[in-house]
């Protein structure tokens, strides 16, 4: 707004037509007879004056501003957030929408203000995003708005939601180990808190596949999902003389800590211990040997959430996005089969 821009009236004057005629040409309406000559003059004036419709003014008339508000609990300092935002922004742009972004840090007062600030600017709809997959309550101010939950879902599963298929990912992890020949010696590494959807779903998927083979995990290591905690816990396990054939690590950071403990014990991956993990962060490809990991499809989550939001009528219910397995070098046959 800082620079004077051509108005529709400027276009009409240059083209020698009425403002109404110019408006009909610019908005592509065909319910008024306009001569081909007048239409050409208007289109030429649009080009010459670099006329662009003012979306703010149009928003006041039509109640659509072609903007979407992304309300996120935390734009975490992780690669994850960046990819979700990339997917959302790129898809919105394809639909000629722009994305407002707001972070609440989980504070309901901030959240209320962010939502209201976006409503004040006439956003057409909302993405309500959690950076870690979880159940969430939709803020009251959003209940009457077009909204899609991104990486989270309401308890009743009724608000449209897009999230990764964590249960199937758990199944994939277990199958990957079974296919390599692992049977009795598999441990699951990382604590499973009931409120962490990714944790409970991944574990449920793992358990289901093992049960179908009449197997259970040899044990569980209840460390935090961070390298240091996993390093210490796996270190203790190995010092105690346990010899897992494989570790199913609940995320890549846990796997990173496991790698460090395994190296320190003088053991090799995958010859002595196989490792499979979840997230497929940058770390997975950087580790030596490179880590087999099941990806969170962040870009796709953002893309699909925007697609659902801008589809009319908006489809209800929960959409589960597949989590692709990236096979690398950390899974091999167990020692006893070699």
**Interface ranges with a copy of itself (CB under 8 A):** 1-3, 5, 52-57, 59-60, 63-67, 75-79, 81-83, 85-86, 89-90, 93, 96, 98-103, 110, 113-114, 116-125, 144-146, 227-228, 231, 253, 256-257, 260, 263, 282-283, 286, 288
* Closer CB to a copy of itself, 32 or 263, in the complex: 263
Distances (CA, A) of 29 to 14, 39, 229: 20, 11, 64
Smallest separation, CB 98 to a copy of itself (Å): 5
At its nearest, how many Å lie between a copy of itself and the CB of residue 50? 9
What are the φ/ψ torsions at residue 265 (nearest 5 degrees)? -80, 0
Q: How far is the CB of 184 from a copy of itself (least distance, A)?
A: 30
Residue 78 token pair: 């992780």
Please state, in angstroms and as integers, the Cα–Cα distance from residue 83 to each residue in 46, 128, 131, 168, 296, following that order: 37, 16, 11, 22, 10
Those residues whose C-beta lies under 8 Å from the C-beta of residue 1, and which sit 6 or more positions away, are none
Calculate ∠ Cα 50-12-6, nearest 5°. Answer: 35
- CB of 76 or CB of 267, closer to a copy of itself: 76
Q: Measure the CA–CA gap between 268 and 329, rounded to whole angstroms.
A: 12
Beta strands 98-103 and 67-72 are parallel
31-35-39-44 Cα dihedral, nearest 10 degrees? -170
- Residue nearer to a copy of itself on the CB measure, 247 or 283: 283
149: which strand partners?
128, 161
Of 183 and 326, which CB lies nearer to a copy of itself in the complex structure? 326
Min separation Cβ 253 and a copy of itself, Å:
7
Residue with smaller CB distance to a copy of itself, 96 or 338:
96
Give the angle 123-30-55 at the CA atoms, nearest 5°: 20
**Minimum distance from residue 67 beta carbon to a copy of itself (Å):** 7
The nearer residue to a copy of itself, 82 or 322, going by C-beta atoms, is: 82
Q: How far is the CB of 33 from a copy of itself (least distance, A)?
A: 29
Q: How far is the CB of 215 from a copy of itself (least distance, A)?
A: 32
Nearer to a copy of itself, 53 or 315 (CB): 53
Contact 79, 281 (CB under 8 A): yes
- Is the CB of 197 or the CB of 259 nearer to a copy of itself? 259
77: Cα separation from own chain's centroid: 14
- From CA 148, how far away is CA 318, in angstroms rounded? 10
Question: Least distance to a copy of itself from the beta carbon of 57, Å?
Answer: 6
Residue with Cβ nearer a copy of itself (38 or 254): 254
Q: How many residues does the chain have?
A: 338
Q: Give me the least distance between CB of 48 and a copy of itself, in Å please.
A: 16
Ranges of H-type helices in the chain: 8-15, 19-26, 36-49, 55-62, 79-94, 108-120, 166-179, 197-212, 227-239, 252-264, 282-286, 298-310
């Amino acid at each position: 707004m800082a620079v004077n821009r051509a108005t529709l009236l400027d276009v009409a004057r240059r083209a020698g037509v009425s403002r109404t005629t110019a408006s009909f040409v610019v908005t592509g309406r065909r319910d008024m007879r306009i001569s081909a000559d007048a239409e050409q003059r208007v289109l030429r004036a649009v080009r010459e004056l670099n006329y662009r419709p003012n979306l703010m003014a149009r928003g006041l008339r039509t109640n659509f501003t072609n903007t979407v508000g992304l309300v996120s609990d935390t734009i975490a300092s992780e690669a994850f957030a960046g990819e979700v935002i990339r997917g959302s922004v790129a898809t919105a742009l394809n639909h000629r929408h722009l994305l407002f972004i707001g972070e609440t840090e989980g504070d309901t007062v901030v959240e209320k203000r962010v939502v209201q600030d976006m409503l004040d600017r006439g956003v057409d709809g909302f993405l309500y995003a959690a950076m870690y997959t979880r159940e969430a309550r939709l803020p009251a101010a959003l209940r009457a708005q077009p909204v899609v939950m991104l990486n989270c879902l309401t308890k009743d599963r009724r608000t449209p939601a897009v999230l990764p298929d964590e249960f199937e990912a758990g199944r994939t992890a277990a199958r990957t180990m079974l296919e390599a020949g692992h049977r009795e010696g598999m441990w699951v590494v990382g604590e499973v808190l009931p409120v962490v959807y990714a944790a409970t779903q991944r574990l449920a998927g793992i358990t289901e596949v093992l049960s179908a083979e009449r197997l259970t995990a040899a044990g569980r290591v209840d460390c935090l999902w961070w390298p240091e905690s996993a390093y210490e816990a796996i270190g203790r396990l190995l010092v105690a003389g346990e010899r897992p054939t494989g570790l199913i690590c609940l995320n890549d950071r846990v796997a990173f800590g496991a790698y460090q403990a395994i190296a320190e014990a003088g053991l090799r991956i995958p010859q002595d211990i196989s490792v499979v993990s979840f997230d497929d962060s940058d770390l997975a490809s950087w580790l030596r040997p490179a880590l087999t990991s099941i990806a969170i499809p962040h870009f796709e989550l953002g893309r699909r959430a925007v697609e659902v939001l801008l589809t009319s009528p908006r489809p209800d219910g929960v959409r589960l996005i597949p989590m692709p397995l990236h096979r690398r070098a950390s899974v091999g046959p167990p020692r006893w089969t070699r």
